[in-house]
Amino acid sequence: MKALKPLILACSLAALPVLTFAQVSVSVDTTKPGPVINKNVYGQFAEHLGTGIYEGLWVGPDSRIPNTRGWRNDVVGALKELKVPLVRWPGGCFADEYHWRDGIGARNKRPVKVNTHWGGVAEDNAVGTHEFFDLVELLGTEAYVNGNLGSGTPQEMAEWLEYMTSDTKSSLAELRRKNGRKEPYKVAYFGIGNEAWGCGGNMKPEYYAHLYNHYATFLKTPPGARPKIIASGGNDNDTKWTDVLSREAARGTDGISYHYYTLPTGVWEKKGAATGFPESEWFSTIQQTLRIDQQIKQNIAVLDKNDPQKKIGFYVDEWGTWYDVEPGTNPGFLFQRNTIRDAVVAALNFNIFHEYAERVRMTNIAQMVNVLQAMIITDKDKMLLTPTYHAYKMYIPFQDATKLPVAVDNDVAYSSNGKAVPGISATAARAKDGKVYVALVNTHPTRASDVALNVAGLNVGSVTGQVLTAEKMDAHNTFEQPQAVKPAPFSAKAADGKLTIKVPAKAVMVFAVEA
């Protein structure tokens, strides 16, 4: 049967009109450098949720799983290779129920609480402030600490920041020293509450703005140690939170956050499966994720009106795919598989974030390990890297790179049921190593594309990089086949002054342009 297939295909093609797609053209202009893509656009998020921290990252110092002071060596090693610039902690919804004093001092004396948001499991507070900063230092990353506005007090929040950052002889600074940390910690970002419109307190933006100003008034640090302060903003189609906060809560605010999750169906009650989905859900996932472009644009238009000096950043501090939980797992743990579709989604979002680099100065994918669109999945002592991990790794050259204008012409849309999305998405930047890097994403699950690359200001000789693709739409890594989806090397040479790149179906490509 197999041998007959090409013949059958040839016969059926002969009977059909020949479909020739014009070559897609991607033009990069190196003569017009744009803004810097802040490395923190590649930030991560680790919440006390499911096995995201406990088991996925933290196994405790007495575990048989090799660890450094409780943090598993395999996961930390893999994350170090990602050059994670920033980690947000402890939530999420968990942040507004977290009381920092529960997580300091001798671990065996810490109170055990119930994680009411996520599965109702026992939270023994083994990971607290000192453990988190140990992870931050092991990873060589920066800390984004999210404070509790929902169920805490201004005093509790102010004291946490003092505990972490004070270099004085205050009782709180001395308590930190007694608990093992002489020098102050560096808090790069501090968030005042999370999703105040929902799990953070079901507030209206005006009410939150008042509270935000109230809490922010008491957040004090030694000179030079003040973190970037974040006001917790809106989500999905909303611009109201950005509008109210950029008018009413702007003083001393470095950024307003925003959350956008990609659901294949767009419906929370039945989001769609992570694997085994039909092509219609591949398409709708791409369509849903691309909606973030308009959402960002609309929110930035509001910021441009209220903050023309561009002091306030637009921080997408939660984003990524959210599917129906994996059957048989705790629904409160938000565990889902991660396929080539997730890698394509991640790369499409990166390309969009780059377009708005002036305002989108930080984002955090949800979440780092074992939760939602994770980089890494663990099972006891085993660990695997997901396609999303590979996409992050391939995009490392874009961290702190200078954005370059890109135009995609003659694109052949990917259409389904009368709807269409772009076939090829592209981004380009000059990286810190001086080279020009280009990333291409093919959204189509079965159609490869030929892309002609033009680079103004550079005589292109060749390109070298990596391509991430797979045969099946839901191809993913398993503990049995951990390398099923991984990047492959790729290169192409110019001929007669032209460079054409074959972009496989459902692929992410990142390459350096060489003269």
Please tell me whether residue 92 binds ligand AHR under the rule CB under 6 A: yes
Identify the active-site residue in 195, 206, 269, 358. 195
Nearer to ligand AHR, 388 or 443 (CB): 388
Catalytic residue check, 195: yes
Q: How far is the CB of 344 from ligand AHR (least distance, A)?
A: 21
Nearer to ligand AHR, 263 or 426 (CB): 263
Q: Write the CB contacts of 382 (distance below 8 Å, at least 6 apart in sequence).
A: 479
Nearer to ligand AHR, 68 or 202 (CB): 202
Q: How far is the CB of 457 from ligand AHR (least distance, A)?
A: 42
As a residue count, the chain comes to 515
Nearer to ligand AHR, 93 or 362 (CB): 93
Residue span 298-327 as binding mask against ligand AHR, x where in contact by CB under 6 A, dash where not: --------------------x---------
Task: State the number of binding residues for ligand AHR (CB under 6 A).
Answer: 10
Nearer to ligand AHR, 93 or 391 (CB): 93
Nearer to ligand AHR, 334 or 406 (CB): 334
Residue nearest to ligand AHR (CB): 92
What SS3 class is residue 56? coil
Catalytic residue check, 281: no
Instruction: Tell me the C-alpha to C-alpha distance, in Å, between residue 70 and each of 108, 135, 504.
Output: 14, 9, 42
HEC profile of 331-347: HHHCCCCCEHHHHHHHH
Please tell me whether residue 194 binds ligand AHR under the rule CB under 6 A: yes
Nearer to ligand AHR, 51 or 67 (CB): 51
| Residue selected from 84, 93, 312, 340 as contacting ligand AHR according to rule CB under 6 A | 93
* Strand ranges for 397-480 from DSSP E: 402-404, 406-409, 414-416, 419-421, 424-430, 436-442, 449-456, 462-468
CB atoms within 10 A of CB 431: 17
Please tell me whether residue 91 binds ligand AHR under the rule CB under 6 A: yes
CB atoms within 10 A of CB 318: 25
Residue span 25-54 as binding mask against ligand AHR, x where in contact by CB under 6 A, dash where not: ----------------------x-------
What SS3 class is residue 76? helix
Nearer to ligand AHR, 49 or 344 (CB): 49
Distance CA 136, CA 167 (A): 20
Distance CA 219, CA 5 (A): 69
Please tell me whether residue 238 binds ligand AHR under the rule CB under 6 A: no
Please tell me whether residue 142 binds ligand AHR under the rule CB under 6 A: no
Q: How far is the CB of 52 from ligand AHR (least distance, A)?
A: 9
- Part of the chain binding ligand AHR (CB under 6 A), chosen from 80-88, 90-98, 275-283, 478-486: 90-98
Identify the active-site residue in 123, 318, 471, 514. 318
Q: Specify which residues 123 forms β-bridges with.
A: 113
- Part of the chain binding ligand AHR (CB under 6 A), chosen from 88-96, 353-361, 379-387, 399-407: 88-96
358-417 binders of ligand AHR (CB under 6 A): 366-367, 372
Please tell me whether residue 336 binds ligand AHR under the rule CB under 6 A: no
State how beta strands 488-493 and 462-468 pair.
antiparallel
- Part of the chain binding ligand AHR (CB under 6 A), chosen from 89-97, 293-301, 342-350, 483-491: 89-97
Distance CA 104, CA 159 (A): 13
Instruction: Tell me the C-alpha to C-alpha distance, in Å, between residue 87 and each of 136, 174, 469.
Output: 7, 26, 28
CB 192 within 8 A of CB 149: yes
CB atoms within 10 A of CB 454: 16
| Residue selected from 55, 142, 195, 342 as contacting ligand AHR according to rule CB under 6 A | 195
Distance CA 294, CA 300 (A): 10
Instruction: Tell me the C-alpha to C-alpha distance, in Å, between residue 459 and each of 269, 463, 465, 513.
Output: 52, 11, 18, 9
Distance CA 416, CA 394 (A): 29
Distance CA 44, CA 159 (A): 25
Distance CA 387, CA 192 (A): 32
- Part of the chain binding ligand AHR (CB under 6 A), chosen from 61-69, 71-79, 85-93, 101-109: 85-93
Q: Residues in the site for ligand AHR, rule: CB under 6 A?
A: 47, 91-93, 194-195, 318, 366-367, 372
Active-site residues, by number, are 195, 318
